[in-house]
């Protein structure tokens, strides 16, 4: 048996830090949104006796050993359900790494979903989310995807009505930012703590979009990233000048711009080419 699953990228429409936790992590209030940029994972059951986990990847830069989150997901699924089946997984990598787009987390969630399917496990969603939370703060969100309020470290997920088909441009400077190094810079007290309920209300009413995005979106981590990476700050400025509501996604390095109509995407993309960034015109997507 062979199956292929898509693993979408995400953006953070809102991200505020509420406190530092005793375990070293930070409590967040964030709204995550999947978009139509995908990695693709193909799973092949190795049959009865072969218990190997074989991971192959289109990108030679990514490790395919136990340090890869997909490999860790396979080990975690086997342990949780106490089984010893083998699998071959091929990862077609499209989402840039260290980009704030959740690529590694999304791959891990797709691996959990693909493996329970290919190994014939009747899994409860709550159990998949439990396995996901062991692998990383953002992984549980990707079990469902779409639009969701994520709290705690990010692993407490409350689905929201999906924001569908909203045109978004993703702009990546071509280098990554390490998440842990950004969170280390977070200093309290934060200036003007932001409340999430305004944007949550808009999303629940179905009225969130390009026209109100610049007033309602927010990312606290921008102020801890921009001083070290002026190139990222500049991308935000360029996108804003082009008329987009633009914010950093997660801990960077990608900036996303929400714009009015899909027909503008080529103009915006060509204007960004001179800044030598990688760009993707995508749409916000459901689960
Ligand atoms: O959970 P994940 O492995 O994605 O987190 C990467 C790093 O980001 C953590 O080791 C931690 O330093 C930081 N982090 C944090 N608070 C969060 C999420 C991540 O401090 N809510």
> How confident is the model over 111-167, as pLDDT tens digits?
999 999 999 999 999 999 999 999 999 999 999 999 999 999 999 999 999 999 999
Ligand 1, atom 9, residue with closest C-alpha: 180
**Is the Cβ atom of 138 under 6 angstroms away from ligand 1?**
yes
Output the CA torsion sign for 180, 285, 213, 171.
positive
Q: Is the CB of 25 inside a 6 Å radius of any atom of ligand 1? A: yes
Residue 26 Cα to ligand 1 midpoint, Å, equals: 7
Question: Token pair of 239, please?
Answer: 């996108």
pLDDT in tens, the chain (287 residues): 899 999 999 999 999 999 999 999 999 999 999 999 999 999 999 877 888 999 999 999 999 999 999 999 999 999 999 999 999 999 999 999 999 999 999 999 999 999 999 999 999 999 999 999 999 999 999 999 999 999 999 999 999 999 999 999 999 999 999 999 999 999 999 999 999 999 999 999 999 999 999 999 999 999 999 999 999 999 999 999 999 999 999 999 999 999 988 888 888 888 887 677 999 999 999 97
Among protein residues, the one whose CA lies closest to atom 20 of ligand 1: 25
Distances (CA, A) of 256 to 10, 26, 77, 183, 282: 10, 23, 33, 20, 10
- Cβ–ligand 1 contact at 156 (below 6 Å): no
CA 137 to ligand 1: nearest atom: 1
Tell whether ligand 1 has an atom less than 6 A from the beta carbon of residue 115: no
Catalytic residue positions, numbered: 10, 138
pLDDT digits (tens, 9 = 90+) for 12-39: 999 999 999 999 999 999 999 999 999 9
What is the 185 CA–ligand 1 centroid distance (Å)? Answer: 12
Give me the chain's average pLDDT, please.
95
Cβ atoms 241, 210 nearer than 8 A: no
The H helix count followed by the E strand count for the chain is 10, 11
DSSP letters spanning 210-232: HHHHHHH-EETTHHHHTTT-HHH
Evaluate if pTM is beyond 0.85: yes
Judge if the beta carbon of residue 137 lies within 6 A of ligand 1.
yes
């Amino acid at each position: 048996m062979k199956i292929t699953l898509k693993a979408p990228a995400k953006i953070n429409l809102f991200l505020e830090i509420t406190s530092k936790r005793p375990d070293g992590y930070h409590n967040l209030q964030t709204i995550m949104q999947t978009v139509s940029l995908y990695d693709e994972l193909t799973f092949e059951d190795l049959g009865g006796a072969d218990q190997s986990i074989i991971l192959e990847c289109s990108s030679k830069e990514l490790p395919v050993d136990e340090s890869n989150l997909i490999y860790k997901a396979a080990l975690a699924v086997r342990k949780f359900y106490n089984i010893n089946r083998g699998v071959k997984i091929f990862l077609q990598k499209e989402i840039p790494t260290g980009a704030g787009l959740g690529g590694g987390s999304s791959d891990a969630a797709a691996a959990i979903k693909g493996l329970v399917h290919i190994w014939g496990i009747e899994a409860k969603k709550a159990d998949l989310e439990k396995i996901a939370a062991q692998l990383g703060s953002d992984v549980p969100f990707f079990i469902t995807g779409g639009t969701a309020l994520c709290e705690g470290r990010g692993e407490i997920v409350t689905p929201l009505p999906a924001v569908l088909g909203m045109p978004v441009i993703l702009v990546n400077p071509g280098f990554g930012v390490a998440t842990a190094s950004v969170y280390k810079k977070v200093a309290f007290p934060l200036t003007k703590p932001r409340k999430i309920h305004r944007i949550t209300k808009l999303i629940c009413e179905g009225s969130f979009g390009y026209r109100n995005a610049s007033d309602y979106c927010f990312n606290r981590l921008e102020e801890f990233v921009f001083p070290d990476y002026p190139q990222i700050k500049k991308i935000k400025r360029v996108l804003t000048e082009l008329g987009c509501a633009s914010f950093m996604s997660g801990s960077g390095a990608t900036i996303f711009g929400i714009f009015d109509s899909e027909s503008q995407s080529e103009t915006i993309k060509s204007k960004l080419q001179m800044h030598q960034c990688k760009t993707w015109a995508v749409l916000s997507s459901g689960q």
